[in-house]
Amino acid sequence: MTLSRSDASTARPADDVVIELRDTSVEYGMDRGTSKVLNEVDFEVQRDEIVGVIGESGSGKSMFASAMLDAVPEPGVTTGEVIYRPEDGEPVSVTDLSKEELRRFRWEEVSMVFQGAMSSFNPVMDIRTHFVETLSAHDYDVDRGIERARELLSDLYLDPDRMLDSYPHELSGGMKQRVLIALSLVLEPEVLVMDEPTAALDLLMQRSIVSLLEEIKEKHDLTIVFITHDLPLVADLADRLAVLYAFEFAEVGPSEDILENPAHPYTRALLNATPNLSAPLEEMRPIEGESPDPVNIPDGCSYHPRCPLSDEQCVESDPGPYDAGPEHDVHCHHWEQSVEDIDVAFAETDERAFTSAAEKAVDEPLVSLSDVEVTFGSENDGWLDFGEDETVSAVDGVSLDVYENDVLVLVGESGCGKTTLGKTAVGLQRPTGGSIEYRQRDIWEGSGGTSSLADEEIRRALQIVHQDPGSSLNSHQRVRTILEQPLKRWHPELDGNDRRERILGMLEYVGITPPEDYVERYPHQLSGGEQQRIALIRTMLINPDLILADEAVSALDVSLRVGMMDLMIELQDAFDTSFLFISHDLSNARYLAEKTGGRIGVMYLGRLVEVGSAERIIQNPQHPYTKALRWATPELGEEAREDPPIRTIDIPDAQDPPSGCRYHTRCPEAREVCTTESPEFVDVGDETQIQRSACFRALDEHPYWQSDPIADDS
């Protein structure tokens, strides 16, 4: 194809640079001013490297990706230069290309994988047609292209025939994401830009796709730009890391150097704010303050309002870049001092005392679940029965207890039943089998055949905080009205002044100040962290005994998660509330459970397979599935990762779960007995640490040990 050249770029040789941004900005005109969502960025992407671009939400990561392809959504305006340097040929000014040239450039030279795989596919077209249309639109030989598609799908551990003949809705999230990667590579581009490609996926699928990317890169000679807010995920994949803050780069350098010797205070704060499985809990600290408004970026160093080391020079003068080592640039006036002093500046102590799970277990449970079953499908749909007997057992025979002032975190892949179990525990889902008791009373007693709890006191005592606070808060109501509603219902004795004082006090308690200002705002005028705090306050105002927190921190930036979890723990102490957390992130589960003396429960395909203290589950997992989750959890600065302790990536169909132990189809330790017999829970803990595991390997004497291993035909 014919591309227009940049005269300015030809004067500078760049043998190893494939994409170069010079003084590149992205701006949007708004009523209140110009919103600068990428601010005069200079950056070079080296050929054949993987560069990880990290930062909080709203830091400019997606705009950086869009600017590289000149694909900024209207009415955004891109200024500066974006230069593409093909391996063979003259440099190209991307911003000077015509629409037709851009269309070809974006698939044939630089391709992009977006965050939402489902929205990237046409739901009425099968996967083969997606490939054929892409190939035909670029005058690429279709037969040759389909053969390449088959090869790419195989490289991504997918069955080509099944994938090509399937429709998008027939594929799991991980399958769709891998098919999208194959589609983006079918025209043999030189550069692959990936914008949060694994954000919506489970830990095992995230880790598997990241591992596959390394293989794909080597086999197909790719340059990859991997954009994410999840620093541990990309840390051991990327050759270089680039840290974005306030729409410009704060620090760029080799991954190992950035992780071991971060020079910018923001980078170090980001590392400290990232929950992980091995670091001491006291080293994990939230980043204080908020990211700047793109209409009002601070003068000087944009990080200075949040930095404990800032001084007058930081306020007045834009820093750097300073040379912090080979290929390591940092935009901080005090980067040398920062390396030595930042941990002291951030230091704080936390001497919180708690009652261990083993000590709580001797008391009467607050909520007790016995052999709970929840089945969905045509057998229970009544007038919605379409004649097909396709039922899904979302929860299958789960028993567990939650105690006073307790914390229990349920973890597992999507579709394992953890949210359904949580909603059943707090009376939002009626079980189809088993029982749920609140203070030794069946919560469904007296409700007849209805799906609502008959006892108002039990309804008050069992509450929920949803994953997405934006959708759980009424967008047409002010914060004051949202928070008044539970008080009016459950505390009618309070007058208007009492309600207002209680609301203002809670807002100030959770750090939303000035409270008089925030009570008059609407939800869209709040940040994600502020919205989640409002949702949490709304629940706490009625003083419940048990709160189901359904992925309550997963929608927040990694820099906000520790702060939100700390707030929940603080509120638990203040209100003597128990929490049932739902999480797909083992690092978050460890933080919550270890800091409160709580437990972690591991679910797989509707069953609880292991439960125990955080220390036992993280440091000494007994069930092979727990070990797989432990392996999949990314760690900063870890050594080379072992081969995955799992036989196949994809989870079985929940409508037709495997017989026997449901994990045997993926378990590397499975034997013939696992295919026919379902293991019961075995106590593998001690007097101080609770741990129970549903695996035959926990028993020294069991027919499992004489049974033949299952041949690995995956």
For the chain, domains (ranges, CATH) are 15-238 (3.40.50.300), 259-346 (no CATH), 357-476+522-706 (3.40.50.300)
Pair of tokens at residue 45: 């992407």
Categorize the per-residue pLDDT at 559 as very low, low, confident or very high, splitting at 50, 70 and 90: confident
Nearest to 326 by CA among 271, 390, 263, 397: 263
> What percentage of the chain reaches a pLDDT higher than 70?
92
**pLDDT band at 342, cuts 50/70/90?**
low
3-state secondary structure of 81: strand
**What tokens does 572 get?**
């638990």
User: What is the distance between the alpha carbons of residues 528 and 640, in angstroms, rounded to a whole number?
Assistant: 35
Q: Kindly report, residue by residue over 308-341, the tens digit of the pLDDT.
A: 889 999 999 999 799 999 999 999 998 887 666 5
User: Which spans in 49-159 are helix H?
Assistant: 61-68, 99-108, 127-137, 142-155
pTM for the whole structure: 0.86
Q: Spell out where 268-385 has E strands.
A: 322-325, 328-330, 367-377
Confidence of residue 348 (pLDDT cuts 50, 70, 90): low
Kindly indicate the confidence band of residue 382, based on its pLDDT and cuts at 50, 70 and 90: very low
Tokens of 27: 């701006």
Predicted pLDDT at 320: 78
Do residues 658 and 675 touch, judged by C-beta distance below 8 A? Answer: yes
What angle is formed at CA 336 by the lines to CA 335 and CA 340, rounded to 5 degrees? 105
Q: So what's the pLDDT on residue 397?
A: 94
Q: Is 493:486 a contact under the CB 8 Å cutoff?
A: no
pLDDT of residue 116: 66
- Is residue 712 over pLDDT 60? no
With cut-offs at 50, 70 and 90, classify the pLDDT of residue 11: very low
pLDDT at 685: 85
Q: Is 138 exposed, middle or buried (0-12, 13-18, 19+ CB in 10 A)?
A: middle
| Pairing of β 50-54 and β 33-46 | unpaired
Strand-by-strand arrangement of the 33-46 sheet = 33-46, 17-30, 77-84, 92-93
Residue 711: what pLDDT?
A: 62
| Tens digit of each residue's pLDDT (9 = 90 or more) over 603-636 | 999 999 999 999 999 999 999 999 999 998 888 7
Percent composition of the chain: helix, strand, coil (DSSP 3-state, to 5)? 35, 20, 45
d(CA 472, CA 670): 43
**What is the distance between the alpha carbons of residues 525 and 463, in angstroms, rounded to a whole number?**
25
Q: For position 215, what pLDDT does the model report?
A: 86
Inter-CA distances, 548 with 182, 304, 467, 677, Å:
39, 38, 10, 33
